[in-house]
Amino acid sequence: QSVLTQPPSVSGAPGQRVTISCTGSSSNIGAGYDVHWYQQLPGTAPKLLIYDNSNRPSGVPDRFSGSKSGTSASLAITGLQAEDEADYYCQSYDSSLSGSKVFGGGTKLTVL
């Protein structure tokens, strides 16, 4: 059971928009800690996709965007492409139990 809750899977057709939610609590996202998102293509290491809730590292297309509100965060992908098919993870910090960096359980994005 992950501290941050993500849907196990989402899907969309090429060109469509999809969102992936990340729900936390008052000890992590709700406490004001930043949320980061990672993309993991099959057989590869995760890659930083969004940092500090809504910022894109250099080289990440602007089709990817992030937002945060209350105890939740979201990743949006517009203009869906076949190459976006991957696992996506949110990550934050949790202040309970001596503090720990925590991940969501991951969301598998399928491009139909």
Partner 1 sequence: QVQLQESGPGLVKPSETLSLTCTVSGGSISSYYWSWIRQPPGKGLEWIGYIYYSGSTKYNPSLKSRVTISVDTSKNQFSLKLSSVTAADTAVYYCVRDGGRFDYWGQGTLVTVSS
Note the residues at the interface with partner 1 (CB under 8 A): 2, 34, 36, 38, 44-48, 51-52, 57, 89, 91, 97-106
Which is nearer to partner 1, 14 or 52 (by Cβ)?
52
**Smallest distance from partner 1 to CB 19, Å:** 19
- Report the SS3 class of residue 87: strand
Beta pairing partners, 111: 12
Nearer to partner 1, 44 or 83 (CB): 44
- Alpha-carbon distance of 32 to 34, in angstroms, equals 6
As measured in angstroms, the least distance from the Cβ of 31 to partner 1 is 15
Minimum Å distance from CB 16 to partner 1?
25
Where residue 17 falls (left for φ over 0; alpha for ψ -120 to 50; beta otherwise) is: beta
CB 64 within 8 A of CB 56: yes
Which one, 63 or 108, has the nearer CB to partner 1?
108
